[in-house]
Amino acid sequence: MPSATETHKFDLEKAVTELKKLGADLYHKDFLLTWQKNDAEIHSVLRIAEILKEMHARNISARMFETGLAVSNFRDNSTRTRFSFASACNLLGLAVQDLDEGKSQIAHGETVRETANMISFLTEVVGIRDDMFIGKGHTYMKEVAEALDDGHRQGVLNQRPAVVNLQCDLDHPTQSMSDLLFIKNHFGGFDKLKGKKIAMTWAYSPSYGKPLSVPQGVIGLASRFGMEIALAYPEGYDLIPEVVQLSRDQAEASGGMLTVGNSMDSAFAGADIVYPKSWAPYDVMQKRVPLLHAGDQTGLKELEKSCLANNAKFKDWECTEEKMKLTKDGKALYMHCLPADITDVSCKAGEVAASVFDRYRDDTYREASYKPYIIAAMILLGKFKDPAALLKTAMERGTSRSLGL
């Protein structure tokens, strides 16, 4: 379903009216974990993201800031989230400034408080990626947020920058919400998601140490839309139990369900959507933390070795054509946060067969295309008291994104 078609159908005025009705209030609040947000808040982010995407397509400027900085704090490598963040900030009129922490400055307590204030005198948003350390990333983001609250309260900061989670140890909300917006549009509406089966499964990869936040983010959000979630992974590749439990609770509350199993085939059976994706086992991620902190290269190598050896037992966890045949009419929608480990393309044996990936390539690109708008929506909600009125003003002022395009 190419966006050109969507574009024609999209009613901007109606969308703004719906946004207004949702009545969500995230002003001066941060976006760290989807499961801390109520339904109106989640739907407001999604609605604003769609409105901004449509405005962009129609060459209507969404510039809300004349000046202002956006700080990006990437504590792990990133290309696509970095570009999504840069795109989102630029769309709203903010200039990105990278906070390049030397390794030595990754300290806690005093330093976090001080740095958070020092970089924020004219800053409107702080985007953070910190997904390497189980038990640390989310904690760090909360520390930054508290420091900013304090700085604003004390009159140090004229304004309170919004904090946006660009992936932590627990959740990857900008990814999961892009995924959700993609399937909503693919299937034709949120109501169409009810009862749909999504297989969120582990998949084999020749690399190691991939965060848990993608699968956790997916089950933690999809579970709110009445979907049947089949979470599956080889024995030992558990996610954080609390996140699985809250997802199960949400699934039941929304009229769906969540099952956990150790068979990729069972998960794929009759699925409308499959999301095969590698991750490291929870206990490996926990063992890594002290080794990373100690800079214990030998220990890390050994852990990697044993982990990869264990991974290799599960090379059959690959999204092949045979596996796809198990899904609904053999035509489940394949999803991935990218980059995927594609067998015979990016590696000898990976998460997905080349022919399967080929068929869904453009879909995975479309899936990714929502992310800049999701981030921009989170910023708008955190920075403006009345986003609906703001968007209305932006549409009515008659400013093109690009002169005479």
Closest distance between a copy of itself and the C-beta of residue 110, in Å? Answer: 5
Other residues' Cβ atoms within 10 Å of the Cβ of residue 300: 17
Judged by beta carbon, residue 183 or residue 342, the one nearer a copy of itself is 342
Judged by beta carbon, residue 113 or residue 194, the one nearer a copy of itself is 113
Closest distance between a copy of itself and the C-beta of residue 287, in Å? Answer: 26
Other residues' Cβ atoms within 10 Å of the Cβ of residue 76: 14
Helix (H, G, I), strand (E, B) or coil at 333: strand
Judged by beta carbon, residue 241 or residue 404, the one nearer a copy of itself is 404
Other residues' Cβ atoms within 10 Å of the Cβ of residue 174: 31
Judged by beta carbon, residue 121 or residue 195, the one nearer a copy of itself is 121
Closest distance between a copy of itself and the C-beta of residue 366, in Å? Answer: 6
Helix (H, G, I), strand (E, B) or coil at 200: strand
Judged by beta carbon, residue 155 or residue 241, the one nearer a copy of itself is 155
Structure-block tokens of residue 342: 């594609």
Judged by beta carbon, residue 78 or residue 259, the one nearer a copy of itself is 78
Closest distance between a copy of itself and the C-beta of residue 297, in Å? Answer: 19
Structure-block tokens of residue 303: 């852990």
Closest distance between a copy of itself and the C-beta of residue 333, in Å? Answer: 16
Question: 241: buried, middle or exposed (CB in 10 Å: 19+, 13-18, 0-12)?
Answer: exposed
Closest distance between a copy of itself and the C-beta of residue 241, in Å? Answer: 33
Closest distance between a copy of itself and the C-beta of residue 277, in Å? Answer: 16
DSSP conformation letters of 274-300 = EEE-----HHHHHHHHHHHHHT-HHHH
Closest distance between a copy of itself and the C-beta of residue 144, in Å? Answer: 15
Judged by beta carbon, residue 107 or residue 294, the one nearer a copy of itself is 107
Whether 128 contacts 171, CB under 8 Å = no
The phi-psi region of residue 96 (left if phi > 0; otherwise alpha if psi is between -120 and 50; otherwise beta) is: beta
Judged by beta carbon, residue 35 or residue 140, the one nearer a copy of itself is 140
**What CA–CA distance (Å, rounded) separates 257 from 178?**
22
| Strand intervals (E) in 130-254 | 162-165, 197-201, 228-232
What is the side-by-side order of every strand in the sheet holding 162-165?
95-98, 69-74, 123-129, 162-165
**What CA–CA distance (Å, rounded) separates 42 from 224?**
10
Closest distance between a copy of itself and the C-beta of residue 176, in Å? Answer: 18
Residue type, 122: L
Judged by beta carbon, residue 66 or residue 329, the one nearer a copy of itself is 66
Buried b (16+ CB within 10 A) or exposed e, 130-142: bbbbbebbbebbe
Closest distance between a copy of itself and the C-beta of residue 10, in Å? Answer: 12
**What CA–CA distance (Å, rounded) separates 364 from 373?**
16
Judged by beta carbon, residue 253 or residue 389, the one nearer a copy of itself is 389
How many CA within 13 A on the CB side of residue 227?
28
